[in-house]
Amino acid sequence: MKQHGLTAGLASLLALSLAACGNGGEGGSEGGERASRDRGDGDTEIVRIDTNPYPSTYTPAPSGVTLIRGATVYDGIGGELADTDILIRDGRIAEVGPGLEAPEGASIVDAQGRFVTPGVIDIHSHLGVYPSPAANAHSDGNEATEPVTAEVWAEHSVWPQDPGFDSALAGGVTTLHILPGSANLFGGRGVTLRNVPSRTVQGMKFPDAPYTLKMACGENPARVYGNRGRSPATDMGNMAGYRASWIEASDYRDSWHEYWEQAEAGEEAEPPTEDLELNTLMGVLEGEILVQMHCYRADQMAQVLDMADEFGYQVSVFHHAVEAYKIPDLLSEAGTCAAVWADWGGFKMEAYDSIRENLPLLHANGACGMIHSDSALGIQRLNHEVAKALADGRRMGLEISDADAVSWFTSRPARGLGIFEETGSIEVGKRADIVVWSGHPFSSYSIADQVYIDGALMYEAGNPELQTVRDFMLGQPGEGEN
């Protein structure tokens, strides 16, 4: 993991935001200004790019003090803690340990015989951009009109009333990352969401989470544009398309840097013309925007890693990565993670070499692996997906603990999204995103009994008072069903 902890990604994002708005409001500037002018040391007004014009307005649901007692706790970073208590206060994890004292007024959850993990995190979801029902009017996930659409942002397509969010919550999902589809070389920006009901997407946005960029390699862009008789129609066309854009983005970045240097030195300087597409690509080159890249084949991933070297950026995570098991060494050398399925494949040639031990083989061979869903059904049981992969890995002789495998649906995706300092593990000080499972999370029969987001109980199995119901489902047959 080179550059995609919260430390690197978020810190630099914050730095840029601070630079952007001068007075450093959390999450960037408050207004809708695209570029703002501030006064530097001299008289020159320096134009900055507003990196966060649609800031998060998320506020956690009210939570009291909660003590979860006596559970087997998987902390998400490799620890299995027997008969352990977790104290939640002010939405954060206050204490973790055996036999904790219950503060006055605390709600006490008897979790004896049950299991606790961090909230499930899905790094690859299209909830909201391809919502239920799959009406034509809702198909908002792919701006498949140009191979390069780095200028579009998934958050501008998310329909917050997608009932799929509620079903995912019942599956323990507390944080999810919504991506544009894979028709394009550069599909646009992804957005990381808290899985809470909200009227607006801004109300779901994970505060200060780094922006991401969806890229796609292989058959999808080549097919979409090849069928229209235009480039890219091949893998080589894909690569040429990315490289042309990176050259453009490098020039754009250089011209801004040149401008800022001159302006800061008090020289007369004209700012470059701002360009939405290139803003995003520049964000990647600056290390502030994390690349989430759809790729299947080992050889394609190797090409992309070379390209990242060529232009000096980092691929944070390869998604789908069906052949990642063939190149764990290349991935770990590059510090790039792979987000994979347990057992999907076959649907196109580049998915034909899917094997069920992909994730455990990655892990055992020293690469950073994690699970992802890319599915409104799969997201509801990422614990099962991990269990299947783990069992298949063990059957071939790989020794991986349950606790390590829990990281595949918790801390690993959190790191891949640059939000690990905030969530993804059960550690003091972190957001209290917690699932209490009815049994072992790797059992077919276990369900999420309680799901906490920022310490607030957002879902409880069998409790109609604690079922989120999106507007769409009101008055419909099936209202309140998961």
Partner 1 sequence: MKRLLTALAAAAITAAPALAQTVVVTNGRVVTNTDAGVIENGTVIVRDGDIVAVGAGLEIPAGARTIDAGGGWITPGLFHPQTQLGLVEVGAESMTRDTEADDSPFSAAISVADGFNFDGNHIDEARIDGITRFAIFPSVGRNNLAGRGALADSTGLPGSLFAAEQFLVIDMARSGAATSGGSKPAAWAYLRAAMNDARTYPGRYLSTQEGIVLNRTDAEAFEAAVRGEMPIVFLMDDDGDIRRLLAFKEENPSLRIIIAGAAEAHQVAEELAAADIPVIFDPMRNLPGSFDTLSSAMNAAAQLFDAGVEVAFTTLGSDIYFNPRLLTQHAGIARAHGAEWEDAFRAITLTPAELYGYGDRFGALAPGYAGDVVVWDGDPLEVMSAPTHVLIEGEVQSMETRQTRLRDRYREIRPEHAYAYHH
How far from 393 is each of 93, 386, 423, 432, CA to CA, in Å? 33, 10, 27, 31
Stretch of 13-21, 246-254, 256-264, 355-363 lying at the interface with partner 1 (CB under 8 A):
355-363
Stretch of 71-79, 85-93, 344-352, 408-416 lying at the interface with partner 1 (CB under 8 A):
344-352
Size of the site for partner 1 (CB under 8 A): 54
Q: Which of 76, 188, 328, 418 binds partner 1 (CB under 8 A)?
A: 328
Stretch of 58-66, 259-267, 301-309, 377-385 lying at the interface with partner 1 (CB under 8 A):
377-385
Q: Which of 380, 407, 425, 468 binds partner 1 (CB under 8 A)?
A: 380
CB neighbour list of residue 148: distance below 8 Å, 6 or more residues apart:
184, 185, 186, 241, 245, 277
DSSP reduced 3-state for 29: coil
Segment 393 to 412, residues that bind partner 1, using CB under 8 A: 395-396
* Alpha helices by DSSP H, 214-275: 219-226, 235-264
Q: Which of 42, 133, 266, 312 binds partner 1 (CB under 8 A)?
A: 133
Binding flag, residue 167, partner 1 (CB under 8 A): yes
Nearer to partner 1 by Cβ, of 263 and 390: the residue is 390
Report the 10 Å Cβ neighbour count for 133.
10
Is 190:177 a contact under the CB 8 Å cutoff? yes
State the Cα–Cα distance between residues 217 and 235, nearest whole angstrom.
8
Q: Which of 161, 175, 354, 410 binds partner 1 (CB under 8 A)?
A: 354
Nearer to partner 1 by Cβ, of 262 and 365: the residue is 365
Report the 10 Å Cβ neighbour count for 279.
22
Q: Which of 124, 214, 388, 431 binds partner 1 (CB under 8 A)?
A: 388
Shortest distance (Å) from residue 4 CB to partner 1: 23
State the Cα–Cα distance between residues 112 and 132, nearest whole angstrom.
37
DSSP-derived letter for residue 19 is: H
Nearer to partner 1 by Cβ, of 238 and 446: the residue is 446
Stretch of 113-121, 159-167, 258-266, 276-284 lying at the interface with partner 1 (CB under 8 A):
159-167
Binding flag, residue 125, partner 1 (CB under 8 A): no
Binding flag, residue 283, partner 1 (CB under 8 A): no
Shortest distance (Å) from residue 346 CB to partner 1: 4
Nearest CA to 308 out of 325, 329, 333 is that of 333
* Alpha helices by DSSP H, 37-175: 164-170
Tokens (6 digits) for 169: 């919550």
Shortest distance (Å) from residue 161 CB to partner 1: 12
Q: How far apart are the first and last CA of the chain?
A: 37
- Cα–Cα–Cα angle for 59, 150, 122, nearest 5°? 45
Tokens (6 digits) for 184: 């394009």
State the Cα–Cα distance between residues 188 and 28, nearest whole angstrom.
20
Binding flag, residue 235, partner 1 (CB under 8 A): no
Q: Which of 15, 108, 265, 377 binds partner 1 (CB under 8 A)?
A: 377
Residue-wise DSSP of 424-463:
SS--TTSB--EEEESS-TTSTT--EEEEEETTEEEEETT-
Binding flag, residue 444, partner 1 (CB under 8 A): yes
Binding flag, residue 343, partner 1 (CB under 8 A): yes
Nearer to partner 1 by Cβ, of 314 and 380: the residue is 380
Nearest CA to 174 out of 123, 120, 116 is that of 120
Tokens (6 digits) for 60: 């956690």
Tokens (6 digits) for 279: 């803003």
Binding flag, residue 161, partner 1 (CB under 8 A): no
Binding flag, residue 392, partner 1 (CB under 8 A): yes
Q: Would you say the C-alpha torsion 105, 107, 110, 115 has a positive or negative sign?
A: negative
Nearer to partner 1 by Cβ, of 392 and 421: the residue is 392
Stretch of 256-264, 380-388, 407-415, 429-437 lying at the interface with partner 1 (CB under 8 A):
380-388
Residue with tokens 């970045």: 253
Q: Which of 355, 400, 466, 469 binds partner 1 (CB under 8 A)?
A: 355
Tokens (6 digits) for 103: 């503060």
Q: Which of 240, 391, 400, 456 binds partner 1 (CB under 8 A)?
A: 391
Binding flag, residue 464, partner 1 (CB under 8 A): no
Query: In the stretch 183-222, what mask flags binding to partner 1 with x, by CB under 8 A?
Result: ------------------------------------x---
State the Cα–Cα distance between residues 375 and 37, nearest whole angstrom.
43
Question: Which residues contact partner 1 by CB under 8 A?
Answer: 132-134, 163-164, 167, 170, 219, 223, 325-329, 343-349, 352-357, 361, 365, 376-377, 380-381, 384, 387-388, 390-392, 395-396, 442-447, 472-473, 476-478, 481-482
